[in-house]
Chains A and B, each alone.
Chain A
């Protein structure tokens, strides 16, 4: 293989590696966001269900 082929492979390997990092990060953020939203909704529901504190 020539240096051009190595260069081409290296360039695309770096780009593909970065894209995979972005995909993993996207998945993590979506999972976290869904979890926190669910936690927030359940927290709001429980605070509504709880009796109001005495004056």
Chain B
């Protein structure tokens, strides 16, 4: 049953992504959708991947923190598996967010890395996700490892709002110009494809999290069996 759900999720994600790619390719860059075309024509369509991947990364961070808190309350290791799975998948989507952002920055500013606020905070969050995974591999004892990781996932969650507010806090112009100076026609025409891509990526994220979570459960079963083998 679980396998079938995973296959269905994968097929739905791929179909939705294919449909959206077709829609994105068909979107015109000419006026009245002009503001984006005038400001940065070649990279305007990167926002479909950039925002979708960032959204999934934030959702994964939130899921990890909730699972961490649930683990601290219940000591149920399934929540620990969910926390590690969603953090790892979140790191993958954050990498996509940063890479597509760098390509946009390269076209607008010249260098690939211009310390643009949203990308810088995304990098900081990515490093926090990476330290979560490093922390887990550094602690041997399973209960202690899960407890430390749960606390760290809550700390990561507290940093996530920075991704959303970085632009306003540090007053960077490019992304705000691209999206919010575009006017209602621009947003109305592009928003369905942005949301569609985000939904496809969320489905992919859920699928990958479910697979990774199952692997974590298998790893725990393996550890238990190894301990039994040593006891014999």
Contact between chains at A3 and B219 (CB < 8 Å): no
Which label, helix, strand, loop or mixed, suits the secondary structure of the B interface?
helix
Residues of B45-96 contacting chain A, CB below 8 A: 45-46, 49-50, 53, 89, 92, 95-96
Answer yes or no: A51 CB below 8 A from chain B CBs.
Answer: no
For chain A, which range describes its interface: under 10, 10 to 19, 20 to 34, or 35 or more residues? 20 to 34
Q: Does B229 sit within 8 A of A, measured CB to CB?
A: yes
In the complex, are the beta carbons of A14 and B92 less than 8 A apart? Answer: yes
Residues of B within 8 A of A6 (CB): 103
Are B49's CB and A11's CB within 8 A?
yes
For B, the interface residue count at a CB cutoff of 8 angstroms equals: 31
Q: What is the bound-complex CA distance between A30 and B219, given in angstroms? A: 9
Chain A residues closer than 8 Å to B50, beta-carbon distance: 7
Instruction: Please report the C-alpha to C-alpha distance between residue A22 and residue B100 in the assembled complex, in whole angstroms.
Output: 23
Residue interface mask B94-114, A partner, CB < 8 A = 1: 011001100110110000000
Residues of A within 8 A of B89 (CB): 18
With A22-B215, A32-B222, A40-B225 as contacts: A15 and B96 at CB distance below 8 Å: yes
**Which B residues lie at the A interface, using CB under 8 A?**
42-43, 45-46, 49-50, 53, 89, 92, 95-96, 99-100, 103-104, 106-107, 204, 208, 211-212, 215, 218-219, 221-222, 225-226, 228-229, 232
Given contacts A7-B103, A11-B96, A47-B232, 19 further A-B contacts (CB under 8 A): A2-B42, A2-B43, A3-B46, A3-B106, A4-B43, A4-B46, A6-B103, A7-B43, A7-B49, A7-B100, A7-B104, A15-B96, A22-B215, A29-B215, A33-B218, A36-B225, A39-B229, A40-B229, A44-B232
